[in-house]
Amino acid sequence: MNIKQVGYFVAVFETKSFTAAAQQRNVTVQAISKSISELEQFFNVQFFERGSSGVRPTQAGRSFYAKARPAVEAYREVENFDPSGCDLTVSSASGPQAMPELSIGLCAPAFDNEDKLYKGLSALIMRGVRVRVKFCTVHPGVAQQELEQGGLDALLTVGTYDNTNDDCEQLGTLPTGIFVAADHPLGKRPFVTVADLSSYPVGQSTAFDSFNNSIFWQYNSHDVLGETRVIDSPAQVGAFLTAERGYFLNAILPVPGQVASGFEIVPIVGEGALTVPVCLVSLKDEKSQAYHVVENYLIRMVGCANGSAAR
pLDDT at 86: 40
> Which pLDDT does position 296 carry in this prediction?
87
Q: Are 164 and 284 in contact (CB under 8 A)?
A: no
Looking at residue 309, its pLDDT comes to 45
Whether the model clears a pTM of 0.85, i.e. scores above it, the answer is no
Mean pLDDT, 10 residues at a time, over the chain (311 residues)? 86 88 83 90 89 84 88 69 43 53 85 74 82 88 89 91 90 91 92 95 88 92 94 86 93 63 89 92 85 86 55 41
Tell me the β-bridge partners of 264. Answer: 180
Count CA within 13 A, CB hemisphere, residue 227: 9
- pLDDT reported for residue 311: 41
* pLDDT computed for residue 117 by the predictor: 76
